[in-house]
Structure 1
Amino acid sequence: MRRVWRFLGRWIGWLLVAALALQLFFLGRIAAMAVFDPASTTFQRSEAWRLATGGDPWRWSQTWVPYESISPHLKRAVIAAEDASFFTHRGVDWQALESARERNARRQARAQARGTTARLVGGSTITQQLAKNLLLSGERHMARKGQELVLALMLETLLSKERILEIYLNHVEWGEGIFGAEAAAQHYFRKPASRLNAHEAARLAVMLPAPKRYQRNPYSSYLNQRTHTIVARMGAVQLP
């Protein structure tokens, strides 16, 4: 029995060492992002592989632009649509997570009563979304969610809010093979990201939860209505 306990103790010890090494690896990657622009994210690499092996023509568009070359309208629109408390939270908005959980429970109950599938909402902050896309796989389980929270705290500790938003806007998906604000502005409006007006910026921000779906119908009645809502909210977003 003692041998068994010693064996288990060694394995637990090695697992703890491996977990610590992984966190140090992530910490080093994030620290480097304070100086170097990340060339790609884990999500982008998985998408590139899917597109390359899917048999369809290769479509990929991404151009990194610095923070000051992205329209302030787009920054305000994305914050208004995705994370209204971005400049005040420290990576995780616990109130938003709880609100999302309650809304999803109500939606699931209504959908179950109708025999349909509920469309769930998320409560993740921009920082959490960046953490997930930058460094994690697309699998959904509690361990990955916990790692996402840890990475969000690392990002907020090591990077400024402006840097987090800059990386997010340069890597977030805006359609099939369309990544970053510059590629999205060129694809949908034939202009650079620096010249987006408030209405164009709001429309792009509204697409973010499901960019591939909205790409197929970028002028749907829902997108039009939601765009007007985000334009109205953008005035309350103050950029530092």
Structure 2
Amino acid sequence: MTTLLCDADGTLFPSEEPAYAASAGVTNRFLAELGAERSYGPDELQAMTNGKNFRAAAQELARGYGRELAGDELDGWVAQEKDVVTEHLRTVLRPDPAVRDPLRAVAGRFTLAAVTSSASSRLDACLEVTDLAGLFDPQRRFSAEDSLEVPTSKPDPAVYAFAGERLGVTPDVAVAVEDSINGALSAVAAGFPTIGTVQFVAEGDREARTAALHEAGARVVVRSWAEVVDLLG
């Protein structure tokens, strides 16, 4: 094994809950334009779209109202949501030794790459404020929103396939680490053995998430990055 393909949100940092909190205002304005009769809370939105980026979530929500979004209209909403969420995450995320120190311990033995559904600018900001940027070379950061010719989102395996191609690694030498069901499905569909993690999942939800990650194809599910290091030996 030479390479760790690391999901970002919910895996490298606890960004999913604050991201949905910041995104809710934009998402509810978007839903109101579609004809929604009520607003949705961050927890509801996360349950509906966890592991998908806003582009994919917006398209899915629009289809529920008989709309197909594309082009400038969709890009405008995506840009709004990205800016709001990125600025919020810059203010709430902090370095976490429970992530940073285990990753530093393996950085000399393994190539570390980030593989995310989120926009590159959001990923860069989160890595910066959590003191992880130095572990993930900019050339080893892959975004389903920005790196691909056609933007997509997990569970589509395209971003993992692209990362493997660019890094020159195959599933026999690279392993993915994912916290979400859609993320695990993406990595598994691309052929990469996958470690599930529940480090940032609420204690009361861990049992269900662990079972769901196994069902999605994760080989093993851990509770911390320290356990990932132990698995790598």
TM range (shorter): under 0.3
TM-score (norm 1): 0.27
TM-score (norm 2): 0.27
Higher strand share: 2
Determine which structure has more spread, i.e. the larger CA radius of gyration. Answer: 1
